[in-house]
Chains A and B, each alone.
Chain A
C-alpha cells in the first residue's frame, strides 16, 4: 500500500533536484511520508528553516499518541528497555495499524520481535521504492516523469477520501484542504505550518461543538 506513496515521493524528489542519496536516506531516517513530502515541497518554496521544522514537527506530532498506545502492548520484562526506543523509530502509520490488528493474536513476549521483523521489511521495501521512483523519474521522458510525480497527490487524495468515515479525519482533511491553499496565497513560505494549525484547530473546534 505504502509503496505507491514512496514511489511517487522518489519521483517528486527527482523532479525537485534533491540528490538520490538524500531521498532514500529520508525514507530510512525520517520514515514519515507526510514529513518527507513537506520537507521536499518547502525546500522548493525556499521556506525558512524555522517554518520547515515547525511544519515537520506538527505533522509528526501524531507519533506521540501512536507510540503511547502501542508501547504498553509490547512491554515484557524479558526485553531490554533500549529496544523500545529503536522500535519507536520504526513505527509508521501503516505499521501501527497492522500491529494494532495483529497483537491480540500474539503472546505478549513475541510482539516486539514480530514488530521488528515486520517494520524492517516495510522500511527496506519502501527505501527501494523511493530509489525506484527516483530513478524512473530521472530516466523516463518528461511526460512520464510528470505522471510519476502526480502519484503523490493521487496517493493522498485516495487515502484521505477513503478515511472520511472517521469524523476527526474527515473534518481535519476538509479544513486542511481549504486552509492550505488559502495560507499559500497569504504567505507561501509559512503556508504549510500556518495552514495546518488554522485548519486543524478549526476542525477540532467543529468536532467539539457537535
Chain B
C-alpha cells in the first residue's frame, strides 16, 4: 500500500520533470527538432504496445475472454466509431464494451 503510494509519487515526479523543464527551457529550444520526433514516436509506440498486448495477450481480468471475443468487441468499437457515428469516441468505446458483454452473456 505504502509502496504503491511511493511508486505513484516517483512516477508523478518523473512526469513533472518533463513538464517543468519545458517551462524552464521554453525560451531556447525548438520543439520541432529531430529529437522530439523520436520522442513522439517512442510515446506512441509505448501506449500502442501496451494496448496491443492487452488485446493479444491480456493479463488480469481480460484474460477471462478469448481472442475471438476481444476481436468481436474491437470490431464493434471500430464499426460504431468510423461508420455509425462521425467518430464519436464515447459511442465507439461503449459499443465495444457492450458487444463484449453481449457475447459473454450469449455464451453463458
Determine the chain B residues whose CB is within 8 A of the CB of A181 once the complex forms: 49, 52-53, 56-57
In the complex, which residues of chain B have a beta carbon less than 8 angstroms from the beta carbon of A191?
Answer: 49, 53
| Whole-angstrom distance between the Cβ of B79 and the nearest chain A Cβ | 11
Tell me if A156 and B51 are in contact (CB < 8 A): yes
Listed A/B pairs (30) with beta-carbon separation below 8 Å? A15-B61, A22-B5, A30-B8, A32-B15, A34-B46, A44-B59, A55-B46, A60-B15, A62-B40, A143-B105, A147-B100, A149-B61, A154-B74, A157-B55, A157-B77, A158-B77, A158-B93, A160-B48, A162-B89, A172-B41, A176-B49, A177-B51, A180-B45, A180-B46, A181-B49, A181-B52, A184-B53, A192-B49, A199-B45, A200-B42
Contact between chains at A180 and B49 (CB < 8 Å): yes
CA distance A194 to B83 in the complex (A): 35
Residue from A168, A179, A207 in contact with B49 in the complex, judged by beta carbons closer than 8 Å: A179
How many A-B pairs fall under 8 Å by CB?
300
Is A118 in contact with chain B by the CB < 8 A criterion?
A: no
Q: Which of A52, A60, A155, A200 contacts B41 (CB 8 A)?
A: A200
Give B16-29 as 1s and 0s: 1 = Cβ < 8 Å from A's Cβ atoms.
Answer: 11111111011101
Cα A57 to Cα B20 in complex, Å, equals: 13
Q: Taking A143-B101, A157-B78 as contacts, is the C-beta distance between A58 and B60 under 8 angstroms?
A: no
The CA of A162 and the CA of B61, in the complex, are separated in Å by: 27
Q: Evaluate contact between B11 and A63: CB separation under 8 angstroms.
A: no
Residues of chain B with a CB closer than 8 A to A60's CB: 14-15, 18, 43
CA distance A182 to B9 in the complex (A): 30
Q: Is A152 an interface residue (CB 8 A)?
A: yes
Q: Is the CB of A1 within 8 A of B16?
A: no
- Given known pairs A22-B8, A154-B73, A154-B77, the reply for A37 and B101 (CB within 8 Å) is no
* Total chain A interface residues with beta-carbon distance under 8 A: 100
> Which residues of A55-70 are within 8 A (CB) of B?
55-69
Across-interface contacts of A154 in B (CB, < 8 A): 73-74, 77, 92-93, 96-97
B12–A199 touching, CB < 8 Å = no
Indicate if the CB atoms of B25 and A195 lie closer than 8 Å.
no
Indicate if A89 sits at the interface (CB-CB under 8 A): yes
Decide if A125 is an interface residue (CB 8 Å cutoff).
Answer: no
Proximity bits, B59-83, A CB within 8 Å = 1, else 0: 1111011000010011001100100
CB distance from B70 to the nearest CB of A (A): 8
CA distance A43 to B60 in the complex (A): 11
Q: Which residues of A contact B27 (CB under 8 A)?
A: 72
Whether a CB of chain B sits under 8 angstroms from the CB of A88 is yes
Give the CA-CA distance A168 to B73 in the complex, in Å.
27
Q: Which residue of B lies closest to A59 (CB)?
A: B46
- Residue B50 interfacial (CB < 8 Å): yes
